[in-house]
Structure 1
């Protein structure tokens, strides 16, 4: 990080003013170490509304992200656009020398995910992905359990009224979303398990129920995953259920860790010992960073962000293999490398 950036607020440009752009953008706007200088969205009404909320002048409003990257005085970019647009926009921001916060999934194409990982790992710029479970104390506590060894069996599931919630939005357009419930909310669960356990997926057999005739938008998905250390796991995703519930059980020879959550609040963690005893580690939710705080700290310190491009690569590799398996009926191998 340059000395002038260390002493001055980080100048932020936001591409996409939907939920992520305005939520994480709002966190950045309120942080003393950041200032929102430019906004980009195709919806001019939304652009005007956000400009008022973030105190951005009219000359900081853009409907073309490439023009914003070229003309606006920036240090970092928040990418909060539909999934399939991430790759091109992140590449452009990195090539301009900007730090990047990108919503999940980082990419919906495996080659794109590999390319972004290579770019991030050889760049001096920070690339953070919006997998917020890395910031939640429950998941961080569970991760401590597996620092010296991985689980040998796991189950994970999440439900949501995702189909109804997504009606009339880009999420049901596969050209923008890249897929269905698995690539959206399900992506958080895949990432949460992989990051918490340190497991590397080796292969997957999947079945799906699709919302659309073209079978591109899954509303239910079931994954049977084998991991490189010999562990196995099942994942279930139901995007046409009444409410959000998340359940993750991670078992090893000593017992298990159980993570649970309702709606979008912080998750709880319970540890189960070999005698079936249960106890709840103390969780202080007040110590959790929000996504903007974590991103700004990574930029300031030049330390690895909580959720990296390589974390996101694992999720994209598993997700793409799951879609291939569901469509072919075959178990599909997973490789992070070319």
Structure 2
């Protein structure tokens, strides 16, 4: 079996994670043949540290034009996702894209259409629904472990934004950055996968006086298709450590997914207790699933359709209307 050929475009945090941590796990199945970043010296340093010798480019258009590829991983800022993916689709290259899918709902919808026309694999790097703690949460919900769900609370609370490890020129920009775009999108998409469509959003959002800066405070209500409400609290001025969590309140207790991967369960009259997830078999990482699919086997991915539907909710949060906004006319229905 021939190795799949892959390029990484963008060596920010996720691009570096790909070349240093993920790709070495699958060295027998996929080969990194090209890398692109606009910082040539940093790019050279990263590939040297990774012990690899791909072709290096500072122009993604040139890379996509000159290198024969099976797959491209797009890890550039959101404003560039559309153009990189568009060119890749035109050349029949499979696309693995970071979230959010695009920089606007218009771009996201266009990318769905371009992906369908190209008839190639298209995946967004959403991994939270397949994390062991989330799989266990879903299992407990389906087993009615806390009986009927009454409401949920979603916390996106940070003592500062960006976080210390997350410094780059766009992460605080109103156009491309902020914790809703960077972090909230993961939880929105996970909720859509585990609990079903979010159909209505009511949001209050505060921005700094600097018109270029991303959101500071968010208070919102997201209503599921079945009427269950999710109350969202977001801030970049939390006292103490950050909290990124979902708490599911049921008739007979709660399930709390705290700080991404710590699952707790409590009864009506009992304190929260940790829920072990060591026995849960996860299909992660997403790259593994993509490799399986490209080699003709089955796999689980979240495609541009899923990315678009998550972005519908994201844009409603960032650009609130008066009262609840009905998002059903914008959401894409079942995949064909």
Q: Distance in 2 between matches of 1:218 and 1:302?
A: 42
Q: How does 1:321-336 map to 2 (within 5 A)?
A: 321-325=316-320, 328-334=321-327, 335-336=330-331
1:209 matches 2:197: no
Question: What residue is the counterpart of 1:257 in the other structure?
Answer: 255
Q: Distance in 2 between matches of 1:290 and 1:230?
A: 33
1:101 matches 2:93: no
Check the 8 A contact 1:272/1:279 in 2, yes or no: yes
The structural deviation recorded for 1:189 is: 2.1
Structure 2, gaps ≥5 residues long:
none
3-state SS of the aligned residue for 2:200?
Answer: strand
Question: What residue is the counterpart of 1:87 in the other structure?
Answer: 82
Alpha-carbon distance change, 50 to 278 in structure 1, aligned in 2, over 3 angstroms: closer
| 1:280-319 Cα shifts (integer Å, max 9, x gaps) | 5431289543343233234334545333323222221011
Check the 8 A contact 2:161/2:178 in 1, yes or no: no
Question: What residue is the counterpart of 2:188 in the other structure?
Answer: 190
3-state SS of the aligned residue for 2:129?
Answer: helix
3-state SS of the aligned residue for 2:133?
Answer: helix
3-state SS of the aligned residue for 2:181?
Answer: coil
Per the normalisation by structure 2, the TM-score is: 0.84
The structural deviation recorded for 1:181 is: 1.7
Q: Distance in 1 between matches of 2:181 and 2:168?
A: 18
Question: What residue is the counterpart of 2:217 in the other structure?
Answer: 220
| 1:28-87 Cα shifts (integer Å, max 9, x gaps) | 1442211110011111112211332345547x1111111111111211011101112112
Q: Which has the higher helix share?
A: 1
The structural deviation recorded for 1:228 is: 2.0
1:284 matches 2:278: yes
> How many pairs are equivalent?
322
Alpha-carbon distance change, 212 to 67 in structure 1, aligned in 2, over 3 angstroms: farther
Q: Distance in 1 between matches of 2:39 and 2:178?
A: 24
Q: Distance in 1 between matches of 2:297 and 2:220?
A: 36
Question: What residue is the counterpart of 2:9 in the other structure?
Answer: 15
